[in-house]
Amino acid sequence: MLLIGLTGSIATGKSTVSSLLSSPPYNLPIIDADLLARKVVEPGTTGYNAIVSYFGPTTPDLLVAPGPDMPENGPSGKGRPLNRPALGRRVFGDSPEVRKDRARLNSIVHPAVRKEMALAVLKAYVKGYRAVVLDVPLLFESQLDKYCGTVLVVGVKDPKVQMDRLRARDPHLSAEDAENRVRSQGDVREKAERATDRGEGKGVVVWNDGDKKELEQQVREVFWKGVVEKQSPRWWGWWLWACPPAAVVSALWNYWGNLQVDKRWREKKEAERAKL
């Protein structure tokens, strides 16, 4: 089974691409890191408790306010849900304190998300899917790219297009909140470069500055026909499914190859830094 890592930057079009890939003719299962990141911090979970105990004392509005529709102990009796915009204001931005808080939140949420992802991948394999999409905004940052057979980066070249789409989709965000969110993520051009450096078929970039039709066409021609159909023909998927040891060997081989790619990438970046 081919693991497709789908990434980009905020509001560059990952969800739009994942909804294309989950519909006909592709019909791939999507494992959405943002959704899992919500699930693992629901009231009553270990993640929720860790967030409340770390951020609670310094964030008065950390939980959704009680009211006629929100009982004091939350709808499930396990506590009121997190007030996500308030937590977002604590962790999105550039200052050292905000970075520290973001690292803390990541250290609570990411391990739980990885566990849920591994389970979902295993389920997709058992069901016999030919490929599965891991929709992960922080794919490279969280090292999940190493498990992927191919990485698809959805980027937007013009920062204004990205900001306009973000503000149109999330009108509740102030201009400053939106800027902070964009700045909290690595530059999408660097992600595109990393994808390309993986080598042909192992990394693809689609630029989504045009309209949705253009995006759809790139997904079909560049990604599906150019990569998936070549990298993972149907017979190969069936073979890996019918022979689990072959799937394990193939996964290990892929992981080892990606470690080498990562090593080359680090050396290249160090050489560039040394030149400055």
Ligand X SMILES: CC(C)(COP(=O)(O)OP(=O)(O)OC[C@H]1O[C@@H](n2cnc3c(N)ncnc32)[C@H](O)[C@@H]1O)[C@@H](O)C(=O)NCCC(=O)NCCS
Ligand Y SMILES: Nc1ncnc2c1ncn2[C@@H]1O[C@H](COP(=O)(O)OP(=O)(O)OP(=O)(O)O)[C@@H](O)[C@H]1O
Length of the chain: 276
Tell whether residue 109 is a contact of ligand X (CB under 6 A): yes
Tell whether residue 10 is a contact of ligand Y (CB under 6 A): yes
- If the CB atoms of residues 168 and 276 are measured against ligand X, the closer one turns out to be 168
- Kindly state the smallest distance separating residue 268's Cβ from ligand Y, in Å: 26
Among positions 1, 3, 12, 74, the unique one binding ligand Y when judged by CB under 6 A: 12
Using CA atoms, how far apart are residues 10 and 3, in angstroms rounded to an integer? Answer: 22
Among positions 131, 215, 219, 228, the unique one binding ligand Y when judged by CB under 6 A: 215
Tell me the H-state helices in the chain: 14-21, 33-39, 46-55, 84-91, 96-126, 159-169, 175-183, 188-197, 212-218, 229-231, 234-242, 244-275
Partner in contact with 85, chosen from ligand X, ligand Y, none, beta carbon below 5 to 8 Å by kind: ligand X
Partner in contact with 225, chosen from ligand Y, ligand X, none, beta carbon below 5 to 8 Å by kind: none
- Kindly state the smallest distance separating residue 181's Cβ from ligand X, in Å: 6
- If the CB atoms of residues 175 and 271 are measured against ligand X, the closer one turns out to be 175
Number of Cβ within 10 Å of residue 243's Cβ equals 12
| CA-closest candidate to residue 118, choices 3, 198, 255 | 3
- Kindly state the smallest distance separating residue 15's Cβ from ligand Y, in Å: 3
| CA-closest candidate to residue 28, choices 149, 170, 190 | 149
Pairing, β 2-8 against β 131-135: parallel
Q: Residue 94 corresponds to which tokens in the numbers above?
A: 């550039």
Tell whether residue 169 is a contact of ligand Y (CB under 6 A): yes
Instruction: Catalog residues that contact ligand Y under the rule CB under 6 A.
Output: 8, 10-16, 34, 137, 165, 169, 208, 211-212, 215
